[in-house]
């Protein structure tokens, strides 16, 4: 048995997710994939669709909540039926700070204090998780996703229902608090989630090009499992390759198979700038 160094965020997740009375089996890519072994990494990244798609459940860890109101927000959203009508009081200033029984979901046992719920939603929607590239495939490939923020948890479907409701609602310009939620990383993530299921690999890179990852190759291979088979065959996962070499393969494939969606690109350099924009350094 060897020691494995992990980051604070993963340590917090494992501490929070462990059960006190029974054993629990978790698969964590940072631990279960030898990041230093290129052959193993290539193989495992190529299997992400199977890993997440066949998982009994996928856990999303947002970190510890900075605000106590997160529990109120998660409890409220988790009790909302699919119609979403109970979200409406969040849009009216005269409802804030009150306990509106008429708008409280039947399953919700707490006080429907919409000011606290808003504050909790602000905290949730700004979490760094929503800006990370590798987590996109977790949400899209898994059949059952549970979102954890500290000790609070909510089904992904419930959170997504709220985001879809928000995306279809106009927000008063002067309501900065609600506008912060609507323009948040979480809302942007959910909007990209809706579009990513049938897109070419290059279009996925363009759609999520500003998402954060540590290595340049991750900008492509972190989305590889979501791409159609023709893209996967043309651009296989290979962490021994150069970024420019991978981009050349992707560009060649786009011209041949997809008509090159970044149609102003006259070279590979222009192509990758079109996909990733300012997220690339001038030397990349």
**253: containing domain:** 199-284
Return the exposure string of 12-38: e unless at least 16 CB atoms fall within 10 Å of the residue's CB, then b.
Answer: ebeebeeeeeeeeeeeeeeeebeeeee
> Is residue 187 domain-shared with residue 217, that is, in the same domain?
no
> Is residue 153 domain-shared with residue 203, that is, in the same domain?
no
- The pLDDT tens digits of the residues spanning 155-214 come to 998 888 888 888 877 776 677 888 888 899 999 898 876 555 578 899 899 888 889 998
- pTM to 2 decimals? 0.83
> Is residue 40 domain-shared with residue 56, that is, in the same domain?
yes
- The pLDDT tens digits of the residues spanning 63-88 come to 998 878 898 888 888 877 655 566 66
Mean pLDDT of 242-266: 83
> Is residue 27 domain-shared with residue 160, that is, in the same domain?
yes
- The pLDDT tens digits of the residues spanning 85-107 come to 666 666 665 554 554 444 444 55
Residue that finishes a domain, picked among 140, 175, 197: 197
H or E segment at 160?
helix 156-167
**Residues 127 and 60: beta-carbon distance below 8 Å:** no
> Is residue 139 domain-shared with residue 275, that is, in the same domain?
no
* Number of domain units in the chain: 2
Residue that finishes a domain, picked among 176, 197, 218: 197
Residue that finishes a domain, picked among 197, 217, 238: 197
> Is residue 50 domain-shared with residue 148, that is, in the same domain?
yes
Q: Name which of 69, 79, 84, 72 is nearest 108 in CA terms.
A: 79
């Amino acid at each position: 048995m060897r020691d494995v160094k992990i980051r604070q965020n993963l340590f917090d997740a494992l501490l929070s997710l462990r059960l006190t009375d029974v054993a629990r089996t978790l698969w964590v890519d940072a631990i279960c994939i030898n990041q230093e072994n290129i052959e193993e990494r290539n193989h495992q990244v190529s299997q992400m669709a199977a890993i997440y798609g066949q998982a009994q459940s996928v856990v999303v860890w947002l970190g510890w909540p900075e605000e106590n109101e997160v529990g109120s927000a998660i409890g409220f959203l988790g009790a909302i039926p699919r119609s979403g009508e109970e979200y409406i009081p969040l849009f009216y200033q005269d409802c804030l700070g009150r306990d509106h029984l008429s708008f409280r979901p039947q399953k919700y046992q707490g006080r429907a204090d919409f000011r606290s719920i808003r504050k909790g939603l602000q905290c949730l929607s700004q979490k760094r998780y929503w800006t990370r590239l590798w987590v996109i495939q977790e949400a899209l490939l898994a059949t059952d996703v549970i979102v954890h923020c500290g000790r609070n948890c909510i089904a992904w479907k419930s959170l997504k229902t709220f985001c879809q409701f928000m995306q279809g609602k106009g927000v008063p310009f002067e309501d900065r608090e609600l506008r912060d939620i609507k323009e948040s990383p979480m809302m942007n993530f959910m909007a990209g989630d809706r579009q990513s299921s049938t897109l070419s690999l290059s279009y996925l890179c363009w759609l999520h090009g500003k998402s954060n990852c540590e290595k340049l190759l991750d900008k492509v291979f972190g989305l590889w499992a979501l791409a159609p088979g023709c893209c996967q065959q043309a651009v296989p996962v290979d962490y021994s390759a150069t970024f420019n070499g991978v981009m050349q393969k992707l560009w060649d494939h786009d011209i041949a198979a997809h008509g090159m969606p970044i149609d102003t690109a006259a070279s590979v350099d222009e192509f990758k700038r079109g996909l990733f924009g300012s997220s690339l350094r001038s030397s990349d």
